Amino acid sequence: MRVLFLVVLTGLLLSSCASKSPIARQLAGCDSLMITFNVPGTDSVQNMVTTTDTRAIAKLAGYLGGKEQPKPDCGFGGNMLFFKGGQQVLPVVFQSTKECSYFMFEMENKLRYTKVGGEAGKFLKSLNEGKNWY
């Protein structure tokens, strides 16, 4: 019984690791994150959030692996900069409005656009409002 439990547990752990998106794997181990939120319709920064909380970093990295979509025809609402050991790993541009929402990043020498899901949008909004629930 104990052996069966260990086999099942190991299988679950391995499958959960393998199910991470390529972008989440690239960002694994990041130890800090800076997010800038722009004044709507401008390039001016309205708010900036930084964190070293690896739970929050991993949560945001997981959101980036959403469904790819065509290049949206709207502006951008902010940037996320992921760091590991003081070195920038990946810049991400995002927009999260009702009319238009996307993450944009470069991976394998190609610009990729992925959907900002409902939970990701709420999480970004809460961070912009100064809330820090993860």
Section 1-22 average pLDDT:
46
In a domain, 71, yes or no: yes
Q: Which domain holds residue 93?
A: 21-128
Residue 14 belongs to a domain = no
> Across residues 77-90, what is the average pLDDT?
96
67 touches 76 (CB < 8 A): no
CATH code, domain carrying 114: 3.30.1490
Contact 38, 45 (CB under 8 A): yes
Is residue 80 one of the residues assigned to a domain? yes
Q: Looking at the domain assignment, is residue 30 inside a domain?
A: yes
Query: Alpha-carbon distance 120 to 115, whole Å?
Result: 9
Q: Which strands sit side by side in the sheet containing 87-96, from one edge to the other? A: 45-51, 32-38, 78-84, 87-96, 101-107, 110-114
Report the alpha-carbon distance of residue 115 to residue 134 in Å, rounded: 20
- Top-confidence range, 48-62, 80-94, 113-127: 80-94
Structural domain count, the chain: 1
Q: So what's the pLDDT on residue 16?
A: 42
The alpha carbon of residue 79 and the mean position of all alpha carbons in its chain are separated, in whole angstroms, by 10
Please check the confidence at residue 5 and state whether its pLDDT lies above 80: no
Is residue 23 within 8 Å of 82, Cβ to Cβ? Answer: no
Predicted local distance difference test score (pLDDT) of residue 50: 94
Residue 10 maps to a domain: no
Alpha carbon distance 132, 67 (integer Å) = 26
Q: What is the mean pLDDT of residues 38-63?
A: 91
76, two tokens: 């951008």
pLDDT attached to residue 131: 84
Q: Is residue 9 part of a domain?
A: no
Nearest of 98, 60, 93, 100 to residue 78 by alpha carbon:
93
Whether 7 is covered by a domain: the verdict is no
Dig out the tokens for 13 from the structure: 């752990």
Q: Global pTM?
A: 0.80
Whether the per-residue pLDDT at 124 is higher than 60: the answer is yes
Query: Considering the domain boundaries, does residue 4 fall inside one?
Result: no
